[in-house]
Amino acid sequence: MDYEEFFKGFYRSKLDRRNEKGTPIDPNTKGLVFLEGRLSFYERVLEENKESLEENKESFMNISKGLSDDKSGGKNKSKQLDDIVQQDETILRKMLYFLKDIKDIENYFNKKFCGLLDNEIYLNILKRLLRIKISYLKLIIDSGLSMSIDEFNNLKDEYYNSIEALSFLKKEEKNIGARVYSVVGLINKSMRELMLQGEEELKDIIRVEEGMNVYGEERIGKTKEGIKRLD
């Protein structure tokens, strides 16, 4: 994907609009717009996959009941059960793939914005990211997905560490009001500069699924003029 052309078109279309309060969107927040779009994608993937896993579980139970009640056609039903198990594994492996992305972004933020916990914008992003990460981890851990003992223990450690980190950030949020810090517009100057500086790094971190753009939406496709604008 031609990232440069894609982002030019996306930000032009975004800047033509206004936010919920009716004020123009600050072009300096484009790194934030990019990240929030990606987090929304992870949340959507989570909900869709949870729904698919629930439907597969219900189908599995119904087929299993039918298999025990009806001995005829058992071979076909056994194949259906195997297909469901395979579908579940594919879904969960994909979630592990996205979990790696989420952890990479978390590490990036911890590295770039260490010491900015007094910034409410940063704090809210990190809390949202941790909630998504915890949900992914819980779903994978509870699924019974086949993996080594070490892999399973690592996921469990990551899960409990993330819960602890989120708890810490919630305490920090309560303390923010008592601290002295300056916010310039939507994001303070240091945060804004770091966001703009780190935008290219974020794009390098995030891997794009085939057939999708960086927001998890269907790729618009290439034309002679390059990537079409995302309006």
Condensed to tens digits (0 to 9), the pLDDT of residues 164-206 reads 888 877 776 665 543 333 333 333 444 445 445 555 555 554 4
* pLDDT at residue number 23: 45
Sign for the pseudo-dihedral over CA of 30, 33, 37, 39:
positive
216 inside domain: no
The answer to whether residue 55 scores a pLDDT higher than 80 is yes
221 inside domain: no
191 inside domain: yes
* pLDDT at residue number 46: 92
47 inside domain: yes
How far, in Å, CA of 47 to CA of 44, rounded?
A: 5
Sign for the pseudo-dihedral over CA of 149, 88, 104, 205:
positive
pTM, rounded to two decimals:
0.61
Domain that includes residue 85, residue range: 3-210
Total domains in the fold of the chain: 1
Q: Quick: pLDDT tens for 80-137.
A: 888 888 888 888 888 898 898 888 888 776 666 555 555 667 778 888 888 999 999 9
* pLDDT at residue number 126: 81
102 inside domain: yes
230 inside domain: no
| Contact in structure between 129 and 39 (CB atoms under 8 Å) | yes
- Range in 43-47, 97-101, 207-211 with the lowest mean pLDDT: 207-211
148 inside domain: yes
222 inside domain: no
